[in-house]
């Protein structure tokens, strides 16, 4: 065990730090509150800049303009990005999930066709996985693809699609064999979102905004060469995408949560409770301390999981504890924020009396989604029960 950074890790971090110091945009705060449709060109430009510095896809192999970064270096990348409050990249799904899947499963022609434009944010990618009747039970999905000569005809509906409204391409999971067992009849196809028959609708969520879309496919023609991996092997391809999702996401959360708790402590020093600052109220102190400690433990768990993954080479189902841990912790954190803010906690952005321009009321609502998106807490507990502890399958 050695928690000091190695010289390679230090070099990686310092190179990134100095690059960020001279390249990270200074005006992101003016843009971040604007609707995403307005700020999207800004995010594309930021990604192009990162790509010019070869920082857009550090985890990718060097031959695909990545840096073959180790997991620890990837974690450092996200920490540094969070530290300077860098804007997100426009094509985050393409870079984080779909690109790596294409690199792993794609043909040479597919890699040459798609990878450069993922990197340059010229083509934005979205993911068509969940359906109205296939959420946790993803393998039960019904969107159908039927082969007609050299192309498939796709019919069906997808939901909870991030970046659907701006997506040029979609990694779509479809059923190609309705007679096979449910995991065995699936295929991943790459679909041009400008194809006739594709319709994108915004999905308004409980926070009032629309981060996600619904996608409708009516007789959409997809060339047979756009199959990613093997026909009817789509479950494995899709699962590999989800593994990337669980692998990289947690790394940036530590500093984000830390920023929350630091701000909350600052607020607690200035908000009066029972005639003294909330920061001196013993119960508030207990709760803030618990939260601070858990934020650190989240980071320790993450470092241990990364070390294990580096040693064994395979992302394990232990990633599931990370998902449960951060999502439930974020909810507890927002609950404490509400307790400290009291009546002010309910004020939304736009009310002149809202604290931090309504950030806390927004986060309180938004974090309810955390234990649902990217695999519900219940599904994560099933994964631990079955795959980690070896208990019999419950369904």
Partner 1 sequence: MQFGLSESQEFLKDSARKFFAGECPSAQMRRLMETDTAYDAALWSKLTDQGYTGIIFPEAYGGVGLGKVELMLLMEEAGRALLPGPFFATVVLAGSVLDSVCSPAHKQKYLAPICGGEARSTVAILESNASWNPRDIQLNAANGKLTGEKYFVSDAAIADFIIVVARNGVFVVNAKAPGLKISPMIAMDLTRKLYVVEFNNTPAEEIGAITGLARAFDVATAALSAELVGGMQRTLDITVEYAKTRKQFGKPIGTFQAVQHQCADMYLETESSRSAVYYAGWALEENSPDAAIAVSIAKMYASDAARTVGNRGIQIHGGMGFTWENDVHLYYRRAKGSETAFGDATFHRERIASMVIDAGGVAAKSA
DSSP structure string for 76-95? HHHHHHHHTTPPPPTTHHII
Q: Which CB atom, from 102 or from 264, has the smaller least distance to partner 1? A: 264
Q: What is the largest CA-CA distance in the chain?
A: 77
Residue with Cβ nearer partner 1 (143 or 370): 370
Measured distance CA(378)–CA(373) in Å, rounded: 11
CB-wise, 293 or 349, nearer to partner 1? 293
User: Is 206 a binder of partner 1 (CB under 8 A)?
Assistant: no
Told to check if 14 binds partner 1 by CB under 8 A, we report: no
CB of 101 to partner 1, least distance (A): 27
Catalytic residues: 245
Determine, following the binding rule CB under 8 A, whether residue 279 of this chain makes contact with partner 1: yes
Residue closest to 326 by CA, chosen among 240, 245, 210, 213? 245
Q: Which H or E element spans position 119?
A: helix 108-119
Q: Which of 104, 180, 239, 289 binds partner 1 (CB under 8 A)?
A: 289
- Residue from 290, 335, 338, 376 touching partner 1 (CB under 8 A): that is 290
Q: Is 314 in the site for partner 1 (CB under 8 A)?
A: no
Q: Nearest distance from residue 277's CB to partner 1, in Å?
A: 10
Kindly give the interhelix angle for 253-270 and 71-83, rounded to the nearest 10 degrees: 30
**What tokens were used for 362?**
């927004």
Q: How far is CA 197 from CA 119, 164, 188, in A?
A: 27, 15, 18
* Binds partner 1 (CB under 8 A): choice among 306, 326, 360, 364: 306
* Nearer to partner 1 among residue 43 and residue 72 (C-beta): 72
CA gap 238, 216 in Å, rounded = 20
Sequence length of the chain is: 395
Binding mask 253-272 for partner 1 (x = CB under 8 A): -xx--x---x--x--xx---
Nearest-angstrom CA–CA distance, 56 and 44: 11
Rg of the chain on CA atoms, in Å: 22
* Contact predicate 58/100, CB 8 Å: no
- Report the nearest approach of partner 1 to the CB of residue 379 (Å): 10
Span 364-383, contacts to partner 1 by CB under 8 A? 378, 380-382
Q: Is 339 in the site for partner 1 (CB under 8 A)?
A: no
Binding mask 52-91 for partner 1 (x = CB under 8 A): --------------------x-------------------
Burial (Cβ within 10 Å: 0-12, 13-18, ≥19) of residue 278: buried
CA distance 237 to 228: 8
Decide whether 265 or 347 has the Cβ nearer to partner 1. 265
Interface region with partner 1, contact rule CB under 8 A, candidates 137-145, 159-167, 180-188, 299-307? 299-307
Smallest separation (angstroms) from partner 1 to the CB of 18: 20
Report if residue 120 touches partner 1, rule: CB under 8 A: no
- Choose which of 151, 201, 273, 285 interacts with partner 1 (CB under 8 A): 285
Residue matched to tokens 């050299």:
150
Full DSSP string of 285-344: HHHHHHHHHHHHHHHHHHHHHHHHHHHHSS--TTHHHHHHHHHHHHHHHHHHHHHHHGGG
Nearer to partner 1 by Cβ, of 79 and 214: the residue is 79
Q: Are strands 125-128 and 169-175 parallel, antiparallel or unpaired?
A: parallel
Q: Is residue 310 exposed (0-12), middle (13-18) or buried (19+ Cβ within 10 Å)?
A: exposed
* Residues contributing to the site for partner 1 (CB under 8 A): 1-6, 9, 72, 254-255, 258, 262, 265, 268-269, 279, 282, 285-286, 288-290, 292-294, 296-297, 299-301, 303-304, 306-308, 311, 318, 320-321, 324-325, 378, 380-382, 384-386, 388-394
């Amino acid at each position: 065990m050695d928690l000091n950074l190695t010289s390679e890790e230090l070099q990686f971090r310092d190179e990134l730090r100095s690059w960020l110091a001279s390249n990270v945009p200074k005006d992101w705060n003016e843009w971040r509150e604007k609707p995403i449709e307005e700020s999207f060109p800004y995010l594309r430009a930021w990604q192009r800049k990162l790509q010019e510095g070869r920082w857009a896809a550090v985890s990718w192999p060097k031959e695909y303009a990545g840096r073959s970064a180790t997991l620890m270096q990837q974690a450092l990348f996200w920490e540094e990005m969070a530290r300077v409050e860098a804007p997100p990249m426009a094509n985050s799904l393409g870079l984080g999930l779909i690109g790596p899947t294409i690199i792993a499963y794609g043909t040479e022609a597919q890699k040459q066709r798609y990878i450069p434009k993922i990197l340059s944010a010229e083509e934005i990618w979205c993911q068509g996985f969940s359906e109205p009747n296939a959420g946790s039970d993803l393998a039960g999905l019904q969107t159908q693809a039927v082969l007609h000569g050299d192309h498939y005809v796709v019919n069906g509906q997808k939901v909870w699609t991030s970046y659907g409204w701006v997506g040029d391409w979609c990694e779509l999971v479809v059923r190609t064999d309705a007679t096979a067992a449910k995991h065995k009849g699936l295929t991943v196809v790459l679909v041009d979102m400008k194809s006739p028959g594709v319709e994108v609708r915004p999905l308004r969520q409980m926070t009032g905004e629309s981060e996600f879309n619904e996608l409708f496919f009516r007789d959409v023609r997809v060339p047979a060469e756009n199959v990613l991996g093997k026909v009817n092997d789509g479950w494995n391809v899709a699962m590999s995408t989800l593994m990337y999702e669980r692998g990289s996401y947690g790394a940036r959360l530590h500093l984000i949560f830390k920023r929350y708790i630091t701000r909350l402590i600052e607020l607690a020093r200035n908000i009066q409770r029972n005639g003294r600052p909330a920061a001196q109220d013993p119960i508030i102190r207990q709760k803030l301390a618990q939260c601070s400690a858990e934020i650190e433990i989240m980071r320790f768990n993450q470092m241990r999981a990364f070390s294990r993954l580096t040693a064994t080479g395979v992302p394990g189902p232990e990633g599931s504890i990370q998902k449960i841990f951060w999502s439930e912790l974020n909810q507890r954190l927002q609950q404490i924020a509400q307790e400290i803010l009291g009546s002010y906690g309910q004020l939304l952005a736009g009310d002149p009396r809202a604290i931090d321009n309504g950030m806390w009321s927004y986060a309180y609502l938004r974090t309810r989604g955390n234990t649902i998106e990217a695999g519900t807490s219940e599904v994560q507990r099933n994964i631990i029960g079955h795959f980690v502890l070896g208990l019999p399958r419950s369904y």
